[in-house]
Amino acid sequence: MKSFDEFNEMVNSAEKKQIAIDFDGVIHNSKLGFHDGTIYGSPLANTKESLQKLSKKYKLIVYTCKANPKRPLIEGKTGIELIKEWLVKHGMWEFIDHITFSKPNAVCYVDDKAVEFTSWKDCLEILSQKGLV
């Protein structure tokens, strides 16, 4: 078992070396939402080149609801298996280090639904502008 200091160093080290990237809406064009559960869309513009560039300096972790272990199998495959197949098909798997359902430690998170947090006042204003509060 790791000591607190060893664990803290491991987390801090990972955060500096990893970028977490959402799959749908950032890598994969998912215009139809969950639809039939398949990964039907195409890569968003400049995705491959961007992943390639980032992978030279960082480990890239894809985080997605599609990797949820409670998600039903689609064509006998898990979400992780479907995503990996799609990434291989589009020549991007070589840039990805891991696919996960949970939020990984990372230096930053690239997500199409994110609201950057600076303060609760600003956050609530952004959410209000989006009609969410």
What does the alpha-carbon distance between residue 72 and residue 12 come to, in Å, rounded to a whole number? 34
CA 86 to chain centre: 14
Q: Which CATH architecture does the domain made up of 4-129 adopt?
A: 3-Layer(aba) Sandwich (3.40)
What does the alpha-carbon distance between residue 43 and residue 46 come to, in Å, rounded to a whole number? 8
Q: Which two tokens stand for residue 70?
A: 């409670």
Q: pLDDT tens for residues 90-124?
A: 999 999 999 999 999 999 999 999 999 999 999 99
Q: pLDDT tens for residues 29-54?
A: 988 888 888 899 999 999 999 999 99
Name the nearest CA neighbour of 24 among 116, 101, 105.
101
Q: pLDDT tens for residues 59-87?
A: 999 999 999 999 999 999 999 999 999 99
Q: pLDDT tens for residues 15-30?
A: 789 999 999 999 999 8
Question: Structural domain boundaries of the chain?
Answer: 4-129
CA 48 to chain centre: 15
To the question of pTM greater than 0.85 for the whole model, the response is yes
Percent of the chain with pLDDT over 90: 80
